Amino acid sequence: MKIYLTLLFLFFLCFTSWAQTLQEGILDARSYDFEKSGMLSLEGNVRFYWNEHVSPLDAFSREDNFLTMPGHWEFHSDGKYPGIGIGTYAFQILLPPSDEPWFLYVGDVSSSYNLFINGKLIHSQGKISQQKENGIPWVEPQYLFLGHQEELLEIVIQVSNFYHREGGIWYLWYLGSESIAEEWYRKTFSLDLIIIGFLTSIGLVFTLISLLNRNYSSLFFGLFCLVLAIRTGLTNNRELYDSLQMISWPFLHRLEYICMYSAFLFFTQFTCVLFSFIPSFFRKISLFIALFFIGTLFLPIKIYTGFLIVFHITTVLIALTIVISLIRHFREDRKRISFFLMAFLLFFIGLLHDYALVTFFIPGQQIVSYSLILFVIIQMGILSSRIVGTFLAVQNLTIHLESLNRAFLNFLPHSFMKYLEKGSANDIKLGDHVSKKLYLLFIDIRSFTEIAERLNPEETFSLLNSYWEKIGPHIRKHGGWVERYIGDAILALFAIDPQEVLNAAIDIQKEIREMNSGEMGHELKMGISLHYGSLILGMVGDEKRMQATVIGDPTTVATQIEGYSKVFGTDILMSEDFFLTLQDPTKLNYLFLGQVFIPGQKKEIGLYGVYDKSFDKELPKRNIVKGYFERGLLKFHQQQFKQAIKYFDETLKIIPDHKTAILYRNYSLKQQDEGVRKDWSGTITMEY
């Protein structure tokens, strides 16, 4: 901390000069080396005549009366002259011989003047007058070409001020040869343009960043830079004045003050957001500045400029509050606070330095522009590191949320939310539901209970999951999703072409054959049923626990149809409702297996077996016996049981273990021996 303060003190001294060049209204510049020392500042004691515009012809023949330049006449006269009024400055400069023309930089004069050199009117700014009603104010520094001059310059400035509370020559004037002046002008003007462009670009970038990520520290910092960019154009060399000639000077002066107050407000809010430990009352105190806004907007210039001392005191108090808070919490965030504190002290010392120069008319160069650039650069680094940290945190959070979302979709498929017309899980509520016609695919592992009895719990779950991991991708590949796992069974739903559902079933049976031929250690068989019907999809449960589910008879039917697959000896069994949705069943290897009765259903359900060469080695034989079986089934329903038995026997000659043919043959024998009941319809009802 001591090192910081030492550097700041040296920085302050480097830009302070105490040279007095004007003595009793005369400046002897004959020995001044313009090439080596640059522009000559015009400061010191000059002739001054209060409450009159003295003619250039009489300005140096009157009784001597001196006043310090620069400085407003009220300050340097110890209150003898009021700020509002008129006056005349006069001084002489002894020039060295020069082949180059001369240039004069005229600092701000409040608030209008006529400039005479050697009795000639060189420049007028605004319109001077003896009364306010006839005058026009305008305050702007000027670069004046004087050309070749005699060795003695007699300079007279007639000033009128009826607007600002402080009248007179505010800032330093400079004199130099053409080459020196052009270089000096280029440097000072370029510095202002660099600062304006730098602050504008930084302000726009950080304001845009704040809009994208809702970062208030970036927003206040961006607005702070933008307001300072405008104020820089309204002060120093007042570059914006040239573009705003049609606007009155009082309006521009109000805008300058409003920018100053706005910059203060944005900076305090930026600091509060950046460091949350700064006292909460700090923000409320900073809003006190809003009163200055009102005064600037509605009060005359000579009144609202009087509030400036109050604003400066408030600024110092709040600056001290910031410094004390940062020092007290230095250990909490050593690196960030260290950089911010160094930048803040640089900026604050620069403000105090320039304030001292302007208020107490201490000779020296203003440094706030340099300290401002350093401050903004360091704050950019702090904010950038914070934004990068926020970006990384958001990125990690996004990855985490994506992971959670993927995990969530394991419990609530995206298709389910789609049918509920919900964009995310947050939109889902208990009781949300929708009615849809869907395809059902039900899978059950046959005799799994017997296998599980020989395994411990860990081996049981491992075996189940090893199969489900292979089957799930086939369901999703064909556009379906797993609605639920029921121990050793799966219920999957589809909303697309039934051919895709059938293809999924065929792929699953093929996958099972490949797994059984591998090193699984257990040979499993699966029955698959396919059905189609209306379901209600929705959320059931209570406020603490809810679950996505489907409700409807088709789920029960699909489950019981799969049970018939064991009896008929088919690996894939589809209902007539499903079969009728197929666009071209002739492309399939299927077999009508007859009508069955499903408990709870009002009518019988026709069943069809599906066979494919990928998992059924006896498919060629099945194609041969298909005609025999179908004729036998027809005779069975016509109660011609003797002929039906004959066709079933033909089927069994080719495929001896044809379970469906065996089933109907035995049923035909029973009907033949016991007789046919009156209510007999050929529908099979059995325990399975």
pLDDT given for residue 154 in this prediction: 94
> Per-residue pLDDT tens for 492-547?
999 888 999 999 999 999 988 888 876 666 778 889 999 999 988 877 877 777 77
Q: Which residue has 């607005």 as its token pair?
A: 223
pLDDT given for residue 91 in this prediction: 95
What gap in Å lies between CA 302 and CA 77, rounded to an integer?
19
Is 416 within the bounds of a domain?
no
CATH number at residue 519: 3.30.70.1230
387 and 277: one domain? yes
**Per-residue pLDDT averaged across 154-173, rounded?**
92
What gap in Å lies between CA 139 and CA 107, rounded to an integer?
9
Residue 520: partners with Cβ closer than 8 Å, 6 or more residues away: 463, 466
Q: Which of 537, 565, 539 is nearest to 481 (CA)?
A: 537
495 and 552: one domain? yes
Amino acid at residue number 541: G
CB 595 within 8 A of CB 606: yes
Residue 523: partners with Cβ closer than 8 Å, 6 or more residues away: 516
Q: C-alpha 553: how far from its chain's center?
A: 49
Is 445 within the bounds of a domain?
yes
pLDDT given for residue 467 in this prediction: 84
CB 515 within 8 A of CB 464: no
pLDDT given for residue 386 in this prediction: 67
Please give the structure tokens belonging to residue 423.
């964009």
Residue 93 has pLDDT above 90, yes or no: yes
Total number of residues shown for the chain? 688
One DSSP character per residue, 354-368 reads HHHHHHH---B---H
Cα dihedral sign for 368, 371, 374, 378? negative
Q: Which of 334, 330, 335, 364 is nearest to 350 (CA)?
A: 364
- N- to C-terminal Cα distance for the chain? 89
**Per-residue pLDDT averaged across 560-582, rounded?**
90
**Per-residue pLDDT averaged across 425-437, rounded?**
74
Q: Which residue has 């704050």 as its token pair?
A: 379
Is 49 within the bounds of a domain?
yes
pLDDT, greater one: 552 or 276: 552
Q: Which residue has 């930048």 as its token pair?
A: 343
Is 398 within the bounds of a domain?
no
For the chain, the average pLDDT equals: 83
Over its C-alpha atoms, the chain yields an Rg (Å, rounded) of: 48
Is 158 within the bounds of a domain?
yes
135 and 215: one domain? no
Query: Which one of 616, 644, 677 terminates a domain?
Result: 616
pLDDT given for residue 408 in this prediction: 53
pLDDT given for residue 4 in this prediction: 42
Q: Which of 162, 173, 196 is nearest to 93 (CA)?
A: 173
Please give the structure tokens belonging to residue 315.
């600024």
Judging by DSSP bridges, how do beta strands 433-445 and 489-494 pair with one another?
antiparallel
Residue 78: partners with Cβ closer than 8 Å, 6 or more residues away: none
48 confidence band (pLDDT: 50, 70, 90): very high
Is 24 within the bounds of a domain?
yes
pLDDT, greater one: 292 or 441: 441
Q: C-alpha 589: how far from its chain's center?
A: 58
Domain count across the chain? 4
Please give the structure tokens belonging to residue 108.
């701000």
Residue 128 is classified by DSSP as -
What gap in Å lies between CA 15 and CA 368, rounded to an integer?
10
16 confidence band (pLDDT: 50, 70, 90): very low
427 and 296: one domain? no
Amino acid at residue number 231: R
Residue 539: partners with Cβ closer than 8 Å, 6 or more residues away: 420, 428, 429, 430, 431, 432, 433, 546, 547, 548, 549
CB 439 within 8 A of CB 531: yes
Query: Which one of 171, 196, 219 terminates a domain?
Result: 171
Residue 429 is classified by DSSP as -
Tell me whether residue 329 is exposed, middle or buried, using C-beta atoms within 10 angstroms of its C-beta: 0 to 12, 13 to 18, 19 or more: middle
368 and 446: one domain? no
Residue 394 has pLDDT above 70, yes or no: no
Residue 26 has pLDDT above 90, yes or no: yes
Is the N-terminal amide bond of 70 cis, ω within 30° of 0? yes
What gap in Å lies between CA 454 and CA 530, rounded to an integer?
31
Is 534 within the bounds of a domain?
yes
Residue 74: partners with Cβ closer than 8 Å, 6 or more residues away: 81, 82, 83, 166, 167, 168
> Per-residue pLDDT tens for 244-282?
878 888 899 899 999 988 988 888 888 888 887 776 666
292 and 160: one domain? no
pLDDT, greater one: 682 or 263: 263
Beta strands in 64-181 (DSSP E): 66-69, 71-72, 85-94, 102-106, 109-110, 112-117, 120-125, 142-147, 152-161, 168-169, 173-177
> Per-residue pLDDT tens for 575-610?
999 999 998 888 888 899 988 888 777 778 899 999
pLDDT, greater one: 368 or 21: 21
List the domain range (segments joined by +) for residue 191. Answer: 186-391
pLDDT given for residue 7 in this prediction: 45
Q: Rounding to the nearest 10 degrees, give the CA dihedral for residues 445, 451, 455, 456.
A: 50
Judging by DSSP bridges, how do beta strands 26-28 and 85-94 pair with one another?
parallel
Q: Per mean pLDDT, which range of 103-112, 294-303, 406-415, 587-596 is the poorest? A: 406-415
Query: Which one of 616, 640, 661 terminates a domain?
Result: 616
210 and 227: one domain? yes
pLDDT, greater one: 682 or 490: 490
Amino acid at residue number 241: Y
595 and 624: one domain? no
497 and 607: one domain? yes
What gap in Å lies between CA 304 and CA 225, rounded to an integer?
25
Angle at 111 between CA 108 and CA 112, to 5 degrees: 95
CATH number at residue 29: 2.60.120.260
490 and 510: one domain? yes
Residue 344: partners with Cβ closer than 8 Å, 6 or more residues away: 319, 322, 323, 326, 375
636 and 490: one domain? no
Q: C-alpha 55: how far from its chain's center?
A: 65
632 and 564: one domain? no
Backbone angles phi, psi at 304, to 5 degrees: -70, -20
Is 6 within the bounds of a domain?
no
